[in-house]
Amino acid sequence: MTIIRTNEQLGRTSLYELTNSWEKPARLRFVENFSGDALDTNIWATTAVGSSTATMNDLIDGGVKLLTGTTANNSIELDFGGIYQFNAKQSTCIFTAKRLASAGSRYDIGFQNGTDLAYIRNNANDDYYRLLSSDGSTNGSADFSVAEDNDFHTGKIECKSSSIDGYLDGVLHGTITTGLPNTTGLEPWLKCTHNASAAATTNVTYYEAWNH
């Protein structure tokens, strides 16, 4: 059994700690700053289609670089490799990411457990950022009022018993009440995809998740 290490063990500061009282600790919390010279494979499992890779970005605060191959529908994704520690009805994740300009590219970042999903999408083929979900048979979606772009933004997904809220840069932009994940647990999920014959890149500098 793999145990995800705590903030204290990793020496990392979380957005949860900065925005909530110390008298209200999160039940289970995970923080990843994507620092260092190599991706921590003790935590992250990689699934690559084509010649896609996940490597540390050699820049100041560069984070992890998700780079697809150049064949259509190549993709690269990171998750916990099937360790579902976050409650599908009582959990939140926050991430900071940037999709580089490339026709047909997108990122999907949030929670997943197979076909049970809750995530934010930035897609070059869409007009706006979107909050998306699935319970394996029914899908939910909500368009944000923020146009898709190639800048860093901080997304937040809050999974509750009867809804999922989606935020961008601290502002609530969408709520979903159908197609909510109904599995017992979820894991962090970061995916970069390209649907044309060219490479797509997403940089992620932060990911945090906790149970309510």
Largest CA distance in the chain: 51
- Please report the beta strands in 68-138, taking only residues with DSSP state E, as ranges in sequence order: 75-79, 86-87, 91-99, 105-113, 116-123, 128-135
pLDDT exceeds 60 at position 203? yes
Phi-psi region of 88 (alpha: psi -120 to 50; beta: other; left: phi over 0): alpha
pLDDT of residue 5: 47
| Predicted pLDDT at 31 | 97
**59: which residues sit within 8 A by CB, 6+ positions away?**
none
Q: Answer yes or no: are the C-beta atoms of 210 and 183 closer than 8 Å.
A: no
Q: Where are the alpha helices (DSSP H) in the chain?
A: 7-10, 15-19
Q: What is the pLDDT of residue 9?
A: 44
Q: Is 8 helix (H, G, I), strand (E, B) or coil?
A: helix
> What local confidence, expressed as pLDDT, does residue 103 receive?
87
Tokens coding 5? 């290490």
| Mean pLDDT across the chain | 90
Distance of alpha carbon 117 from its chain centroid, rounded? 11
Cβ burial of 21 (10 Å; 0-12, 13-18, 19+) is exposed
**Shortest CA distance to 50 belongs to which of 68, 64, 29, 62?**
68
| Chain segment 182-193, per-residue pLDDT in tens | 998 999 999 999
- Interval 19-66: pLDDT, tens: 655 555 556 899 999 998 899 999 999 999 999 999 999 887 789 999
H/E element, 209: strand 201-211
C-beta neighbour count of 25 within 10 angstroms: 12
pLDDT score, position 61: 77
Write the pLDDT tens digit of every residue in 100-141: 999 899 999 999 999 999 999 999 999 999 999 999 999 999
**Which domains does the chain show, CATH number per domain?**
28-149+158-211 (2.60.120.200)
pTM: 0.88
Any idea what DSSP says for residue 98? Answer: E
| pLDDT above 90 coverage of the chain, percent | 80
